[in-house]
Structure 1
Amino acid sequence: MNPYRDKPGRPHRRAIYQTDWQLKKRIQRLFLILFCLLLLHVFAMVTLESMSLQQAAWLTLTTITTVGYGDLSATTPAGQIATVVLMYITGITLVTLIFSDYVDYRFYRRERIRTGRWRWNMVNHILLINAPKYGGTQYYMRFVQQLRANSDYKSTPIQILTTDFSDSIPPELAELGVAHFHGSGTNLHDLSAVNVHEAKHIIILAKDSNDISSDSDTFDTLHRLSEFNLSKRCIVECVDDENRSRLAKLGAQSILRPVRTYPEIIIRALIAPGSEKVLEDLFTHENDHPHRYEVEVTEMNWSEIVCALIQSNLGTAMAYIDHENEVICNPIATSPINAKAIIVLVKTEVTATEQDIRDSIERYKTRMAQWHAMKAANSQL
């Protein structure tokens, strides 16, 4: 049931008070008038009934709250008239109006929050603009959960600006403390409503990761933000690589391909700027990419393998596979290994062969043996 549905033949109060600001201002005015009436009644009781200030205040408060203990009361005709006019007719009516407006305000606020039209006035928050066309709720849930796993962002406010979720934000996201505003990143009013100038990070997602026309909407949004010198805070998704240069000219902090199953790439861009480029390359077979080499390695520790490959300019060792087919990622540098294969981050244009890897390891072993022999000889002199 909509609490704001107008009754037949009678305009609802919401038609008069369209914003929470107007409702709050009205309540404040009513409180001010009520306070003045209370002071006036206290003054009347002191002057007309010869009460002390404490007695007059006590009588005023017990009357306005309709408690009426009866220990004090106005006895003169003038005092009784003042009490009836100021308290019973005017004061109690004002209290009723204040309570009614407050209930209206609470209903209004709840409805605005539900439909994504409430201004949260966040600061130092993360603003996500647009929702993925498919699986948006699941994407956002994974994003928030992964972000909260980092201690630096455990309590950072998160707000979504999208035209999706027009009825209400999914309860799964609401439970994670995510705020929502129904609007578009290309609309200045909507950007103002989400306090974009105070955002710590701004993430512009591609609406459809399979449609290059999504880049047009992304460009328009980023252009809006660049007009306010906010593009340096933006992490932007770009569907078509040919559009990257256009987005880069607007000053985006980072430009990424949409990877809907792995929002951690964007999180890496927040936590460790630059590392997202490494992760992005891992998803493609261009530029840097991981390659598995079926090369057995024994009697060496991990740091020696890393040094051997770097010195031969063949790439960076990332992990190895032991004889039980377990992948060991980023092992301890001094730990001896017994590998049947190693995974190396290589350049696509200069990918080494397995024989190149074996030769580099053997050359390193030879150099190290010569160095140890020379060191032993010098120690005997």
Structure 2
Amino acid sequence: MILNLIKRFRVHKEAEPLVWLKKVFFYTIGINLLFAILFKYIESVTWNEAIWQTWQTATTVGYGNAPAETLAGRIITMLLSTVSIAFVGALFSAAFDYKEFYKTQKKLGFMKNPHKDGYIIFNFPGNNVAKHFIDELRVVEKSVGICFVDDNINELPEEIAHLPNIHFIKGCPLQKETYQKAEVQNNKTVIVFPVDASKSNSDGSTKVTLDLLERFVDTSKTRLLYILVDMANLWMFEKSKATYISSDLSVLAIVQECQDPYSALVIEDLLYNTQGANPMTVTVDKIAGISWKELQLSLFQVLEGTKHSCNLLAIIRDGQSNSCPEASEVLKKGDLLSLATYLDFPWEEIEAKIQALTIDSQ
């Protein structure tokens, strides 16, 4: 039987590392269990002593405080020390091989996304964009998981891959397995970058990816964002539940700067988490019915003397943004307000104070 195990040991050496690790583990346990049983009955010792002697021999510790006294017991010990020691060594070797195999598989994008409630990015956008995205995002969410999905690269660049909680999946958007491995349904935001930001026809492949994503996610729980190369292609996304971000934002900032000096710096200040205050979207609830003018005046009064500060940027209603509403514009319940403020801004508390102030003034 021992010789048969050794033969099988050689046959399975080239097996997939996890399978091989399991086999070596069970082989090792089986051999040592057999020896413990034989040692107990041949030497007439307790189970405790039999297991102790088995461990000593198999691990080469060899304390020898109660060695075998019978001829049969010594033969069994010799066999164990010849075979089991090799298997214990193989067990450690298999564990190391599996660890290295796992690292390689993860590096090459073959492992399932381990992150939940994180961000998934289809089509690696390049080192600079990826690094900038990660740096800015982690100012707000320090340890959030980020998974890159791409079929055109073999692995992430080292400067990205070495960052904590970064994962890579080598996968084609046309394969069902890609979405399953990426765990798109268990993450909060999926961003689709164009395959080639210099070609407008890349919007076509973006549309295909978004259509397939909508089969796998609940869009009320998982946001879908995409980078649009050419605004002329926006018609393709009319029925999509995803939100577009124009790749021309940088160009627009330049044009704006040409028309209004220093306005690009203002936009940058608002967009970068590392610069200070950022846009925050809050929902109108208690203050529904007051006008835009009343909101502005009340907000200044409520914030006076507190550590909080903010500026109103826009009303968002039915998915449309209005950054310059009429003073008489009446807020409706469910409207969204875009504010320029800091992360700890307690909107619900402030809204309640605005409500109380407007009631008192009436």
In the alignment, which residue of structure 2 is the partner of 1:372? none
Mapped to 2, the partners of 1:36 and 1:90 lie a distance apart of: 12
Note the C-alpha offset of 1:49.
Answer: 0.6
Q: Look up the equivalent residue of 1:53 and give its one-letter code.
A: W
CA contact (8 A) 1:114 1:169 kept: no
- Kindly indicate whether residue 186 of structure 2 is the aligned counterpart of residue 193 of structure 1: no
Match of 2:151 among 154, 160, 163: 163
3-state SS of the aligned residue for 1:124? coil
In the alignment, which residue of structure 1 is the partner of 2:229? 239
Aligned counterparts, 1:27-46, within 5 A: 27-46=21-40
Note the C-alpha offset of 1:104.
Answer: 2.0
- Kindly indicate whether residue 61 of structure 2 is the aligned counterpart of residue 67 of structure 1: yes
Match of 1:144 among 104, 114, 134: 134
Mapped to 1, the partners of 2:244 and 2:196 lie a distance apart of: 16
Q: Look up the equivalent residue of 2:37 and give its one-letter code.
A: F
Structure 1 residues 182 and 31: alpha-carbon distance in aligned structure 2, compared to 1, 3 A threshold: same
Residues paired across the two proteins, number:
263
Note the C-alpha offset of 1:346.
Answer: 4.8
Pairwise CA RMSD = 3.7
Structure 1 residues 198 and 167: alpha-carbon distance in aligned structure 2, compared to 1, 3 A threshold: closer
- Kindly indicate whether residue 120 of structure 2 is the aligned counterpart of residue 127 of structure 1: yes
TM-score under structure 2 length normalisation = 0.62
TM-score under structure 1 length normalisation = 0.59
Mapped to 2, the partners of 1:182 and 1:162 lie a distance apart of: 5
3-state SS of the aligned residue for 1:171? helix
CA contact (8 A) 1:197 1:230 kept: yes
Structure 1 residues 345 and 31: alpha-carbon distance in aligned structure 2, compared to 1, 3 A threshold: closer
CA contact (8 A) 1:144 1:176 kept: no
Note the C-alpha offset of 1:144.
Answer: 1.2
Mapped to 1, the partners of 2:129 and 2:51 lie a distance apart of: 59
Q: Look up the equivalent residue of 1:113 and give its one-letter code.
A: K
Match of 2:239 among 226, 246, 249: 249
Structure 1 residues 28 and 125: alpha-carbon distance in aligned structure 2, compared to 1, 3 A threshold: same
CA contact (8 A) 1:116 1:169 kept: no
Unaligned runs of 5+ in 2: 1-9, 251-267, 274-278, 284-291, 298-308, 313-321, 326-362
4+ aligned runs moved over 3 Å, structure 1? 11-14, 229-232, 259-262, 264-267, 271-275, 329-332, 344-347
Structure 1 residues 12 and 37: alpha-carbon distance in aligned structure 2, compared to 1, 3 A threshold: closer
Mapped to 2, the partners of 1:12 and 1:43 lie a distance apart of: 28
Match of 1:183 among 160, 171, 191: 171
Note the C-alpha offset of 1:215.
Answer: 0.7
Structure 1 residues 101 and 51: alpha-carbon distance in aligned structure 2, compared to 1, 3 A threshold: same
Mapped to 2, the partners of 1:183 and 1:346 lie a distance apart of: 44
CA contact (8 A) 1:208 1:214 kept: yes
Note the C-alpha offset of 1:221.
Answer: 0.8
